[in-house]
Structure 1
């Protein structure tokens, strides 16, 4: 029996790099393709010849992007729970945790739709744009918010696909969403002249279309009869089981809230340093965003493979996948660092031709180039803890990092200006990584040692 386990484990290790990239490659492409949704909207509305629609779109799109990010816990927790069940080979449990996640996602989506008039009003008031831009933002959000149930259910579907290591299907769903959104947005905005309402309607139809496609695909993979048998089972509706998944979701939400708060504070603090710095930091944060897409794509492989090992109770494989994915995460991060170090100036020049903004961005380019190799560890360890569905340490790490960021910018910005702000930003990620690294051994010790390498 032990010899058999060792043989299986050895084969897994031989195929390790292929298994990692079978998930990470499509996940990276899916992340990059997801960024195209807002780019298409900006392109279409940006050609209407008026500032107000574009300003209104900026408010609405910013809100929807943050909605995606804040509720990404639905995806992350589903990956962890499904990957662990996948590691155990328990098909019924995979279906159960996926369906519970889908029920919670649909419920949250419907609640969001019911509250959308209030949320829309508050959002527009907080931003307080011009009356014309406010009307455009309200129109965009009124239509786009109706897609919340579709967005949330799609997140759980993608969590199932990544958790069962079917990343290519997840990529296909994202490509379908983006192709449909591009076609509809261009048709509605440029062809029919619907303006901001056309962009929102294109997104709405595309997101519901992608959700339907995801449900149909899951139905094919799981089989409707199994789904119905699962939800009819009395044990499926046990409050304790829903509470277990909801607890992880809550901690993941808190972690994400800390992260998003730091990003928001970067913009606010940059604005206090002047328009040139604000604009320069916006350009530099796009470089951070692109690097994040690549690093998080690798983190998807970490989540599912570490979760599989944890579910199987195999501490040796848990350590192996943690280390091997960490190696590849570092390679990806180093590639981004080299790309920004060598070509960062050209990238900044492509973003803007305003000399003052380019000069301000160039001054901090060395810190942005270092960001991937310094921040990658926080994302890598996030992936490990997501796969293990151990979310509480992630809150500790994000909370500690946010606290250090606040103190560091208070101390460093007065003497160093924007450079101090970027140092504080980098410290946030370093502290996150250090806190999670300190918790790693305790997490690993909870896993039974089933086989030795």
Structure 2
């Protein structure tokens, strides 16, 4: 993978499996929404929307397990350090599983605390809490799966990542339909469907990883297991990933604020916002095919100290990102009414969603620079830049939303649209420094910034896009 030429054909060949796999993620969200929405129960629909944001906040606090893993693995692969590639896999899976168990153990305290952050209502909160409790059953599998997915993407094994995504999402859709329509479990059934699918996906991911390693790699892991669990290495891993955790929390606060803004306006508006968010999510996940490709290519270019490959990877993935954004603008603009009516039969939700559909149509193009820059900085493992940019852009978004509250739902969507502009602009502040450093060995700083290939064994995390609520 590291010696492959960076051409448009190569970029697309690496990106298309990610695009296909990623588009199934929001499609699961579309099915979740449609399964509940077609019942005509606005409260259940709003509960799934609100509960999804809570679960995403909890899970993607540990999003470095996917994002940091991609950049670190790509850099180790670019430097031809097979031992560290294997150690990263074991380290990531073990950490993800352990953190997932901690979430289950702490759910009695976490769920009530999480719902204090959102402006719901008594009945809405009760239904949403049941959904969240069901989703936490899959926490260990989900977080360990983040690490496996990031590892595969860092190696450029996008077809293997596609297979894993298809298994997860096919199981999710099937189980949702069974639990909700057959057993009538409502929002809780959607939660159990997803968490059960996460365990199926983890088993599949372990099998895929074993296949990628091969017999020789599996044998080597048994000899090298002490390296993966070296206390000093684990301590460094937690320390340097603090930046990406802060960055992820900042963006989760941003999208949680958006969810809360809809909840303040009532279940109907919250449901409408959730429907429109599915359109943005579909576009974001398709464009993530090129952002994830940028992560891998940028990381490998840095690992091999190739400034030429670094710049070419950015230019070609950027071309594809902006072209795809334009396609989605047109698709949502012309197909929005049909999709809204397909996803919900509630006439009040339909009316609210259609009134704000133009904002959903614009966001794939406006958001493209932010999503691509996330990929670049993740591949470069520049955690401090991602952290600081996320904090600043979230603060700007919150200030904008507060200023536009007199405009109601219109102000909510204007503020969200501007948040993508803020994310791209703030990351742009660190772009000149990144460009100057590429292709040269840097001394490690306490934050983990500016590492050259010689220091690649100290893990650093970069930064996005989690699943759905972080488009």
Q: Distance in 2 between matches of 1:164 and 1:445?
A: 25
Structure 1 residues 116 and 47 mapped into 2: Cα distance closer, same or farther (>3 Å)?
same
- Find the aligned partners of 2:362 and 2:153 in 1 and give their Cα distance: 29
Q: For residue 254 of structure 1, what is the aligned residue in structure 2?
A: 246
Superposition deviation, residue 142 in structure 1? 4.1
User: Aligned-pair distance for 1:427?
Assistant: 2.4
Give the whole-Å Cα distance in 2 for the aligned partners of 1:28 and 1:304.
15
TM normalised by structure 2 equals 0.80
Q: Deviations over 1:391-445 (max 9, x none)?
A: 211122121112222222333443x554444333222221221221221221132
Q: Pick closer, same or farther for the CA change 1:423–1:56 going to 2, 3 Å.
A: closer
Query: Which residue, 163, 177, 183 being the options, matches 2:168?
Result: 177
> Structure 1 28/190 Cα, relative in aligned 2: closer, same or farther at 3 Å?
same
The question of whether the paired residues in 2 share the 8 Å contact of 1:59 and 1:137 is answered with yes
d(CA) in 2 for partners of 1:347 and 1:184?
A: 23
- TM value normalised by structure 1: 0.83
| 2:201 alignment counterpart | 210
Pick one of 207, 227, 238 that aligns with 2:221: 227
Match of 2:457 in 1: none
In structure 2, the CA distance between the partners of 1:266 and 1:38, relative to structure 1 (3 Å rule), is closer
Q: 2:156 aligns to what SS in structure 1? A: coil
Shift of 1:130: 4.8
Structure 2 contact 293–317 (Cα < 8 Å) conserved: yes
1:5 aligned partner: none
Distance in 2, matches of 1:384 and 1:211, equals 27
Q: Give the CA deviation at 1:377.
A: 0.8
Deviations 1:63-99 (A, max 9, x none): 3344444432210110000011111122111112222
Contact 2:34 2:344 in 1 (8 A): no
Which stretch shows the higher mean deviation, 124-133 or 204-213?
Answer: 124-133
Offset at 1:155? 0.9
Matched, 1:92 2:91: no
Q: Secondary structure at the match of 2:382?
A: coil
CA deviations 1:141-177 (Å, max 9, x no partner) are 4443232111111111111111111111111112112
1:342: Cα distance to partner? Answer: 3.8
Partner of 2:383: 391
Q: Which residue of 2 aligns with 1:311?
A: 303
CA drift of 1:298 comes to 1.8
C-alpha displacement of 1:232: 2.7
Call closer, same or farther: CA 1:285–1:213 in 2, change over 3 Å: closer
Structure 1 residues 337 and 217 mapped into 2: Cα distance closer, same or farther (>3 Å)? same
In 2, are the aligned partners of 1:52 and 1:133 still within 8 Å (CA)? no
Secondary structure of 1:448's partner?
A: coil
Query: CA RMSD for the aligned pairs?
Result: 3.4
Question: Kindly tell me: are residues 33 and 90 of structure 1, through their superposed partners in 2, closer, same or farther at Cα, counting changes over 3 Å?
Answer: same
1:299 corresponding residue in structure 2:
291
Gap runs ≥5 in structure 2: 442-471
- Asked if residue 411 in structure 1 is aligned to residue 403 in structure 2, the reply is yes
| Shift in alpha-carbon separation, 1:430–1:54, aligned structure 2, 3 A | closer
The answer to whether the 8 A contact 2:321-2:368 is kept is: yes
**Contact persistence 1:336–1:369 (CA under 8 A):** yes
CA-CA distance at 1:302 after TM superposition: 0.9
Deviation string, structure 1 residues 292-319 (Cα, Å, up to 9, x no partner): 1222222111111111101111112111
How far off is 1:188 after superposition?
5.0
**1:4 paired residue number:** none
Which whole-Å CA distance do the structure 2 matches of 1:143 and 1:313 have between them? Answer: 46
- The answer on whether the counterparts of 1:23 and 1:301 sit within 8 Å (CA) in structure 2 is yes
Count of residues in Structure 1 that have an aligned counterpart in Structure 2: 436
Where does residue 427 of structure 1 map in the other structure?
418
Which has the greater radius of gyration? 1
Corresponding residue to 2:54 among 63, 76, 79: 63
76-85 or 25-34, larger mean C-alpha shift: 25-34
Alignment of 1:263 with 2:255, yes or no, is yes
SS at match of 2:106: helix
Q: 1:328 is matched with which residue?
A: 320
Partners of 1:30 and 1:171 within 8 A in 2: yes
Deviates more, 1:185-194 or 1:169-178: 185-194
Task: Label 1:248 to 1:377 Cα distance change in 2 as closer, same or farther (>3 A).
Answer: farther
Match of 1:166 in 2: 157
The 5 A counterparts of 1:13-412 are: 13=6, 16-40=7-31, 60-123=51-114, 130=122, 134=126, 140-188=131-179, 190-191=181-182, 199-222=190-213, 223-233=217-227, 236-272=228-264, 278-351=270-343, 360-412=352-404
Post-superposition shift, 1:18?
2.5
- 248-257 vs 54-63, which deviates more? 54-63
Query: Who is 1:12 aligned against?
Result: 5
Unaligned runs of 5+ in 1: 1-7
CA distance in 2, matches of 1:42, 1:31: 17
Query: How far apart are the structure 2 equivalents of 1:355 and 1:203?
Result: 28
